Amino acid sequence: MLEGLLSAVYGMSVSALIISMLLVLVLSAILHLTLKPTVKQVVGIILTVCVLLLLSYVTMLGRSEPETGLLLIPGNSIAKAFVSDIYLKMVLMNIFVFVPYGAFMTLVFSRYGVKATVLVTLLSGLVITVLIEVLQYVLGLGCAETDDVICNLAGAAIGLVPYFATYKAVKKRLSR
């Protein structure tokens, strides 16, 4: 079942990837606006755990014949994305996989304020993506790239957008 999902995701067009990212962001905004803080936190924990399990599968186990190695030149893949559809899709996939993480982490930590939410979401996103890259390299499960870390962190940051977009409305509703 997960293999089919993985194939479907990797087979998506660039426009379908972007639409999927937008749907996750809209879902997060709806959850921020409609759920009470305690329920929001529980839902956020459940969704974040699901995302982390899926991330682990996709990045560690979901490759048939992984390319292995170490690429530490920042911007290499990102620059190639401007001239190659394959690299563009790869960069977008690396961003896409962390958008839900950033979006759902904000559900978990939004009750602790803006600074704490942003700090925890981005720092934990950085730690997780570096850990994934190190494990891929050490275990020979993939190519560890600096650009993957940059793109994953960008995805987590994009996931913060619904939190900021709904912050004032949620704060106003809670103060009533």
Confidence of residue 172 (pLDDT cuts 50, 70, 90): confident
| Nearest residue to 148 via CA among 103, 92, 104, 105 | 92
User: Is 148 in contact with 76 (CB distance < 8 Å)?
Assistant: no
Nearest-angstrom CA–CA distance, 65 and 143: 11
Query: Which pLDDT belongs to residue 149?
Result: 96
Percent of the chain with pLDDT over 90: 52
Nearest to 49 by CA among 128, 140, 145: 128
* Res. 63 pLDDT band, cuts 50 70 90: low
Contact 160, 102 (CB under 8 A): yes
| Token pair of 81 as six digits | 């994305």
In angstroms, the CA 35 to CA 119 distance is 22
- Dihedral sign (CA 74, 78, 91, 48): positive
The DSSP output letter for 144 is E
At 13, the pLDDT band (50, 70, 90 cuts) reads confident
DSSP-derived secondary structure letter, 160: T
Contacts of 127 (CB under 8 A, 6+ apart): none
pLDDT tens per residue, range 90-148:
899 899 999 999 999 999 999 898 999 999 999 999 999 999 999 989 988 888 999 99
The pTM (predicted TM-score) of the whole model is 0.88
- Asked whether 88 and 13 are in contact (CB, 8 A), the reply is no
